[in-house]
Chains A and B, each alone.
Chain A
Amino acid sequence: MNGVHDMGGMHGLGPIKTESDDVVFHEEWEGRTLALARALLAGMHFNLDEFRHAMERIEPSYYLTSSYYERWLEGSITLLLEKGVVSQAEFDARLADLRGETS
């Protein structure tokens, strides 16, 4: 699949921002996202190829502006919704609760 993820040889994506420290997770949610995806893979709710494909299906403009763990999160959510493990309605309702919105 010749998608935006196939980045080898692309031009114009800017300089490399190197980092001297060895911080594993820059935000707490990043670690939770990684661990949740690994747990879902281990529990066979989806497999690694499905997971990678779900990330490769991310809308190109979002793919280019999102971080690695944002793509892991969206890949996981996509598969959970598609497989019916979580419904869109319950996910939306939970998100609204967490935002403090009244539904």
Chain B
Amino acid sequence: MSSDGIPGPDSEVALRVKAMESLLLEKGLVESSAIDALIDMFENRLGPWNGAQVVARAWTDPEYKAWLLQDGTGAIADMGFDAVQGEDMVVVENTPQVHNIVVCTLCSCFPWATLGLPPVWYKSAPFRSRAASDPRGVLAEFGTEIGADTEVRVWDSNAELRYMVLPERPTGTDGLDAEALAKLVTRDSMIGVTKVAPPD
């Protein structure tokens, strides 16, 4: 198993999970239905489509945007996305002058309520080790070029406080409503490793 490891079906790690789960079930410490419900939540209810709605609303509602940047936790909760790992949220805005990128160098803290679970690369040693020390190099690996006259800011998340990027609204989207705009917003753009691409 490597750092991005995908072990086989009969792997030792899968057996260790089964051993733990079966013992906890027998002892009555966890319930099968609760475990299934949690897996369903992480696969189907928490995901970047939530954060995309927050971004689209901020792009179309200046008052909401001001609230979001001043009180991320409250403004996001107003959209109903106040589930786990989003209890204290700070939203940082990308502009032509400033490009923000989010990392968690110590582990993999991530705003689950708005973006879902973190992608594998976010949790990997290469990203965690270099996002703060060489953000422009990291951005280049994602194909994102930031002009020399644009300041790059790196935000290191922690267990209590989690960051999300409000990306720049792309050009050519003046006629789009919030629903259509939300479809353009990607997970990676809300981590700050890419920009939102204009519509095709």
Tell me whether B138 is interfacial, beta carbon within 8 Å.
Answer: yes
Known: A16-B124, A16-B127, A67-B1. A91 touches B133 (CB 8 A): no
Complex CA distance for A32 and B15, rounded to whole angstroms: 12
Chain B, 111-125, CB within 8 A of any chain A CB:
116-121, 123-125
Tell me whether B130 is interfacial, beta carbon within 8 Å.
Answer: yes
- How many residues of chain B get a CB closer than 8 Å to chain A's CBs? 62
Complex CA distance for A14 and B39, rounded to whole angstroms: 31
B36: which A residues are within 8 A, CB to CB? 35
- Asked if A35 and B39 make an inter-chain contact with CB atoms under 8 angstroms apart, the answer reads yes
| Complex interface: stretch among B4-12, B62-70, B90-98, B173-181 | B4-12
Which B residue's beta carbon lies closest to that of A97? B19
- Asked if B43 and A17 make an inter-chain contact with CB atoms under 8 angstroms apart, the answer reads no
- How many residues of chain A get a CB closer than 8 Å to chain B's CBs? 54
Tell me whether A59 is interfacial, beta carbon within 8 Å.
Answer: no
- Asked if B121 and A36 make an inter-chain contact with CB atoms under 8 angstroms apart, the answer reads no
A28: which B residues are within 8 A, CB to CB? 14
A51-82 near B? 1/0 per residue, CB < 8 Å: 01001000000001111101001001100100
Which A residue's beta carbon lies closest to that of B186? A22
Most chain A CB within 10 A, of B35, B123, B125, B131, is at B125
Known: A16-B124, A25-B43. A70 touches B13 (CB 8 A): yes
A14-45 near B? 1/0 per residue, CB < 8 Å: 11111100101111110111111011100101
B1-42 near A? 1/0 per residue, CB < 8 Å: 111111100010111111111111001011100111011001
Tell me whether B50 is interfacial, beta carbon within 8 Å.
Answer: no
- Asked if A39 and B17 make an inter-chain contact with CB atoms under 8 angstroms apart, the answer reads no
Tell me whether B79 is interfacial, beta carbon within 8 Å.
Answer: no
Complex CA distance for A85 and B27, rounded to whole angstroms: 9
Known: A18-B142, A65-B3. A7 touches B129 (CB 8 A): yes
Which B residue's beta carbon lies closest to that of A96? B19
- Asked if A34 and B42 make an inter-chain contact with CB atoms under 8 angstroms apart, the answer reads yes
Known: A36-B20, A86-B20. A52 touches B159 (CB 8 A): yes
In the assembled complex, 18 residue pairs joining A and B whose CB atoms fall closer than 8 Å, in A order, are A8-B129, A15-B141, A18-B121, A18-B141, A19-B120, A22-B187, A24-B117, A25-B42, A29-B17, A31-B42, A31-B43, A32-B21, A36-B17, A67-B120, A70-B5, A73-B17, A90-B23, A99-B15
Q: Using CB atoms and an 8 Å cutoff, list the residues of chain A in contact with chain B.
A: 5-11, 13-19, 22, 24-29, 31-36, 38-40, 43, 45, 48-49, 52, 55, 64-68, 70, 73, 76-77, 80, 85-86, 90-91, 94-95, 98-99
Q: Name 6 extra pairs, CB < 8 A, besides A13-B129, A29-B18, A70-B13.
A: A5-B106, A7-B128, A24-B43, A32-B21, A73-B13, A85-B24
